[in-house]
């Protein structure tokens, strides 16, 4: 395994979800050990069957919505399927939103708390979106 790359995603904006998906997928398929933590507004898009849509923050997001960019949910799924990444929904966010494991996309792992995620992330780089 390559380096540990921990990706913390908290934003529900299109640009940030798209960029986080690109970082997670490319890093994972390039041989890194990628762990993603989904919390705050970044969790709701990963409800089972939810569309890969989010509000743009600015011009770039609006332009990208018109182009054939890979949907961000597909990028995260590719990170798992092609690069063995792990995507952890945040325990706190699940409690607050009242989600159960079965409400989320099947390529997500079991929920994790921030304490454990940060402990495991300590040896590598942490990127936040």
Give the torsion through C-alpha atoms of 26, 31, 33, 36, to 10 deg. Answer: 10
Of the ranges 3-11, 44-52, 71-79, 89-97, which one interacts with other proteins (CB under 8 A)? 71-79
The residue within the footprint of other proteins, chosen from 40, 44, 65, 69 (CB under 8 A), is 69
What is the C-alpha separation between 11 and 39, in angstroms, rounded?
8
Residue 63 engages other proteins in binding (rule: CB under 8 A): no
CA angle 126, 2, 120 (to 5 degrees): 40
Residue 68 engages other proteins in binding (rule: CB under 8 A): yes
The residue within the footprint of other proteins, chosen from 25, 85, 86, 94 (CB under 8 A), is 25
What is the C-alpha separation between 20 and 82, in angstroms, rounded?
16
Residue 78 engages other proteins in binding (rule: CB under 8 A): yes
Would you tell me which residues interact with other proteins (CB under 8 A)?
A: 22, 25-26, 29-31, 64, 67-70, 74-75, 78, 82
């Amino acid at each position: 395994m390559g380096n540990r790359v921990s990706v913390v995603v908290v934003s529900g904006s299109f640009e940030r979800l798209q960029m986080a998906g690109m970082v997670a997928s490319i890093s994972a398929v390039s041989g890194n050990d990628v762990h993603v933590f989904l919390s705050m507004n970044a969790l709701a898009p990963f409800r089972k069957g939810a569309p890969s849509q989010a509000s743009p923050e600015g011009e770039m997001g609006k332009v990208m919505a018109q182009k054939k960019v890979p949907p961000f949910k597909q990028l995260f799924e590719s990170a798992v399927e092609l690069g063995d990444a792990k995507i952890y929904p945040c325990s706190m966010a699940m409690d607050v939103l009242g989600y159960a494991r079965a409400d989320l996309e099947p390529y997500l792992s079991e929920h994790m708390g921030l304490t454990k995620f940060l402990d495991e992330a300590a040896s590598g780089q942490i990127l936040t979106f």
